Amino acid sequence: MTLPGPEAMRETGRRTFAAFALPNYRRYFFGQATSLIGTWMQTAAQAWLVLSMTGSATMLGLIVALQALPVLLLAPYGGVIADRVDKRRMMIGLQSAMGLQALALGLLVVTGSAHLWEIAALAVALGVNNAFENPARQAFVLEMVGPDVVRNAVSLNSVQVNAARAVGPAVAGVMIATVGVGVCFLVNAASFVAVVASLVTMDRSALLPTPPAKRGAGQLRQGLRYAAAVPEIAVPLAMMALVGAIAYEFQVSLPAMARDALHSGAEGFGFMTAAMGVGAIAGGLVVAARGRTGLRPMTIAAAAFAATIALASIAPDMPIELLALCLVGAASVSFMSTGNSTLQLAADPAMRGRVMALWFVALQGSTPIGGPAVGAIIELAGPRAGLVAGSLACVGAAVLGLVAWRRQGAGAPDAAPALARRRPAPCLDPPAARARPGAPRGAAIRASAQRHGAGGRARATRLVGAVLRGSRSG
């Protein structure tokens, strides 16, 4: 076997870390990485705290659902706001507020005065913040790096998130066992200083900001109609909604799996979450170097995600569980990064905030349904059944993607080059816009929807509904 030469290895490194050539991205990456370690510490600590206080997986699922409910209700409007304002300034304010929430929760816990209702209220407050911050953060990536390296930046961001997932919960598990759960929240509060500083000190002249959308009536409806009219957006959103509702409820299923199936404590739960992060780092680097976008790779990733979660559900002991969770992490980041990049490249710049808000709703906004559902499944059938349910959800997403891809033409080349080269899918009909140059932007969009939006919506609806019709007939 011939080993790659030094020049080939350097080229692979440049391709894998292409976004690091941009100083603003480097600054943001390392600031966000520090903050995310604290965030994952808080995620693990909050799950363990609630489970310790109540002993109920259903109650844990309810707290998770309360944190995600504002995402379901408010994130689409958060995308509208993100399209209207300076995204960097919006992120500075909201990241600062998230640090204050973590500080309040930490002080309540370390002073021994925390009650379940207070944890629930602060979880809701964090969810409201996430509903507005996440769409701005997702859309800001392209403004920071440009379209040529956005797929690489998205993949590196996934590596960053999952590296933090590997470190944060493991550190949290040790801290819970030594200095107490409350310190995890205080460390998270301090970690927000790094990401806020990175945003404040950015070179604004190197950014590529999208012109803010003017305020107007019906902008949320315009975003929904636009997403439904573009199959490259509608189908990935539907796939993520299936997976996000059940499969990504690991904050409910893994604590119960650690405690009740594998008979491990907080340290075991931390290492299980960390194992997913280690696998996701490896998977994310592969996607960053060689990843593609489009329905075909997203469908393959969904199928791999289903298989690896199924393996984790039947693992007889902790070593095999950790190995399985490494594979789960790799498949998870491949699915998430592929879908995210597909939407970033397909969306019109004026609609990107709203499109990414819908992606966030599909990923986390479905938790108010999925969190309690997975908790109830665990209560009735045990922790392994919760993972099996997630695997089945991924199977459904893979079938949906396969049907949609084959209807588009299974023999066609992968969509990644086309999405990267073409202009974003239009939200305006140029002839309609030129016909009435004085017409407001919202009116032009509505005119475009009337001219050709119905056909696009019909195509997207047929693609998304094919599997549902097939399942009813079967």
Confidence (pLDDT) at 356: 84
pTM comes to 0.66
Give the number of residues written for the chain: 474
Who's near 75: CB < 8 A, 6+ residues apart? 130, 131, 132, 134, 135, 357, 358, 360, 361, 365
DSSP assignment string, 327-356? HHHHHHHHHHHHHHHHHHHHS-GGGHHHHH
Per-residue pLDDT of the chain (474 residues; tens, 9 = 90+): 455 667 777 777 777 888 888 999 999 999 998 999 999 899 889 988 998 888 887 788 788 878 878 887 888 888 888 888 889 999 999 999 999 999 999 999 999 888 999 999 999 999 899 889 988 888 888 889 887 887 788 888 877 876 777 688 778 888 988 888 999 999 999 999 999 999 999 999 888 887 777 776 777 888 888 888 888 888 999 999 889 888 888 878 888 888 888 888 777 887 887 788 788 888 878 877 776 778 888 999 999 999 999 999 999 999 999 999 999 989 988 898 888 888 877 777 778 788 888 888 887 766 677 778 888 899 899 889 999 999 999 999 999 999 988 887 644 444 444 444 444 444 443 333 333 334 443 444 344 344 444 444 444 444 444 444 444 344
What is the distance between the alpha carbons of residues 412 and 403, in angstroms, rounded to a whole number?
A: 14
DSSP-derived letter for residue 202 is S
Domains of the chain and any CATH numbers: 28-202+214-473 (1.20.1250.20)
- Residue 50 φ/ψ, nearest 5 degrees: -65, -40
Identity of the residue numbered 40: W
Confidence (pLDDT) at 5: 65
What is the distance between the alpha carbons of residues 436 and 444, in angstroms, rounded to a whole number?
A: 8
Question: How big is the CA angle at 320 (ends 318 and 322), to the nearest 5 degrees?
Answer: 65
Confidence (pLDDT) at 424: 44
Identity of the residue numbered 423: R
What is the distance between the alpha carbons of residues 301 and 336, in angstroms, rounded to a whole number?
A: 9
* Total Cβ atoms within 10 A of residue 262: 19
**Two structure tokens written together for 116:** 């379940």
Handedness of CA 252, 384, 396, 373 (dihedral sign): negative
